[in-house]
Amino acid sequence: MLSDVRLTGPSLQTLGVLLGTVGLLRIIQAYVDVRRVLGTIGNLPGFRTIIDSATVSGNMFPPVPGLALGHDHIWRLKHSPFAAYGLDIVSAVSLWPKARARLLIADAQAIKEIVWARGRFPKPLHQYIILTFFGENIVVSEGEEWKRYRKIVAPAFSDRNNRLVWEETTRIMLDLFDSAWEGQDSITYDHGVDLTLPIALFVIGAAGFGRRISWKEDAVIPNGHQMTFKDALHFVTTDLLTKLLVPKWAFGLTKRWRRTRLAFDELERYLLEMIHERRVAEKKSERHDLLNSLLVASEDEGLSGGDVKLSDSELVGNIFIFLVAGHETTAHSLCFAFAMLALYPDEQEALYQHIQSVLPDGRIPTYDDMPLLTRSLAVFLESLRMFAPVTGVPKSSAEDTSLVVTDVNGEKRTVSIPQGTAMTLDVVGLHYNPRYWEDPHTFKPSRFLGDWNRDAFLPFSGGYRACVGRKFSETEGTAVLTLLVSRYKIEIKEEPQFASETFEQRKARVLSARSIVTLAPLRAPLVFKRRT
């Protein structure tokens, strides 16, 4: 009986020929597909890989030439691909999950055209589904929906609120010095974000949502909770991809996944409590922060009628997205700034002397001093340039169009962009482009003290979709740097296992980073020593 189902020699040969033919046809089809895609973009040079690393599944593959670019290719490669091809727009053509081209753009004028032409180059919202777990929000919106959200939140980011940001940041930093660091001449952090994450959370909590937390209170888990607010928000933002990929039934299988599930549950509970407490504790009209704007828009007929009213889900979703935007990004930027000042003590001394010149009597700086504290802001902006929180901004083409870019020889070149083409505004490539930034790999805050190319600086995005909270972030960063550097020196923590490393090795280690939702330092060990 078994002999009836065995493949004979000729049968095996036939099967082999059949499989070989199918494989050959697939290779031919793949070649035809790639040639077709390349033809639509005028054979624009760039990367050729099997796997599209811009997809959720594709970015799990490590960087292998010809196979995949790897998850962090924008951060890792910086401007080098554009330099190699002599053009600040290159293509990334891949076969899987389907043959398509993605354009990477590091040309300032082309990016300016894209961000101001929102009809031609909309946001591909499907790529932002990871940010909708708590509800629809301003980041994951386009067109009229985005205008509605913008109309609601814009009044909260006023000069009056920026003054509040400065005052709350000052209060938080002084509480740090006088309470958490009391009696200590040297304070060590194994990772700088252990300091900057609570600073940023306390500021957005107080200035954006009227939720004040002291340094001592932060370590206490409130009644009815199993996790602090800080930890819940941190674990949610670091485990967004886990939440997206792991089935709901599987979250009890591992300790890490159980923590992820708990963090999401805890954060939602905190957000709902925040909403309830504001609604019952005071008249919202007495406050002019972000939470007030969102709450007003969620009640009755909203700000000016039902056209702008927020649903309960949208209310929670927008509170979450502003907490993330005002927390993780600023915290990471401050950590990078501290690390750079520690690595470059001459720049730190220049900042200290500048602060002393503005505040010779040692008084506490006020919001009115901010225009004078130019080097503090410059250090923060240079940190944002070198370590852009969002490494790439996705866009798509709504129609057949083209862009004009300048090549390495100064000649204009027109690049065809078919309808539906995926594009990435390569923020890192732009920020390390030597056409706009002299010695782009060098930490040089002074570049922001004179004239500089605003179109080549994109940490807050640009055009119609520019971050509404930019001044909030700049105010907080300036205040934190001014207050801390005026009282403490920042150094890299000395560790025996790294005693023999060179400066370049130390720099690479301390500044190593990875981009998940935002760019985050992997480990920046810092020491803060009180100035005498």
- pLDDT bracket for residue 427 (50, 70, 90): very high
Q: What is the pLDDT of residue 1?
A: 45
Q: Which amino acid is it at 40?
A: T
pLDDT of residue 10: 65
Q: Where are the beta strands (DSSP E) in 13-88?
A: 46-51
Q: Give the model's pLDDT for residue 4.
A: 53
46-50, 288-292, 347-351 — which one is most confidently predicted on average? 347-351
Please enumerate in sequence order all residues whose Cβ is within 8 A of that of 366, keeping only pairs 6 or more positions apart, or say none: 166
pLDDT for the residue 164: 92
68-75: average pLDDT: 91
Distance CA 456, CA 106 (A): 9
- The rounded Cα 77 to chain-centroid distance in angstroms is 17
Cβ count near 522 (within 10 Å) = 12
Distance CA 206, CA 201 (A): 8
CA distance 281 to 284: 9
Mean pLDDT of 406-430: 93
**pLDDT per residue as tens digits for the range 459-479:** 999 998 888 889 999 999 999
Model pLDDT for residues 96-141, shown as the tens digit of each residue: 888 889 999 999 999 999 999 978 999 888 888 888 888 888 888 8
Residue 195 confidence (pLDDT) above 80: yes
pLDDT in tens, 78-104: 999 999 999 999 999 988 888 889 999
**Which tens digits make up the pLDDT trace of 149-172?**
888 888 888 888 899 999 999 999
Q: What is the pLDDT of residue 300?
A: 57
Lowest-confidence pick of 143-152, 425-434, 450-459: 143-152
Residue 30 or residue 267, greater confidence? 267
Higher pLDDT, 302 or 24: 24
Percent of the chain at pLDDT exceeding 90: 55
With 80 as the cut, is the pLDDT of residue 12 above it?
Answer: no
**Contact between 512 and 332 (Cβ < 8 Å):** no
For the stretch 276-334, pLDDT in tens is: 888 887 655 556 788 888 888 887 554 444 556 788 888 888 888 888 877 889 999 99
Which residue would you say has higher pLDDT here, 38 or 103?
103
Q: Is the pLDDT of residue 446 over 50?
A: yes
Give the pLDDT of residue 308. 63
The tens digit of pLDDT for each residue in 466-520 reads 888 899 999 999 999 999 999 999 999 999 999 999 999 999 999 999 987 789 9
Alpha helices per DSSP H over 400-468: 427-431
Mean pLDDT score of the chain: 89
**Residue 348, pLDDT above cutoff 80:** yes
Which residues neighbour 235 within 8 Å (Cβ) at sequence distance 6 or greater?
227, 259, 260, 263
pLDDT of residue 307: 57
Q: What is the pLDDT of residue 7?
A: 54
The whole-number average pLDDT for the span 186-196 is 96
Q: In the chain, pLDDT over 70 holds for what percent of residues?
A: 95
Contact 91, 101 (CB under 8 A): yes
pLDDT of residue 2: 45
What backbone torsions phi and psi does residue 485 show, to the nearest 5 degrees? -70, -25
The residue type of 45 is: P
What's the pTM value of the predicted model, to 2 decimals? 0.91
Domains of the chain: 143-390+459-530 (1.10.630.10)
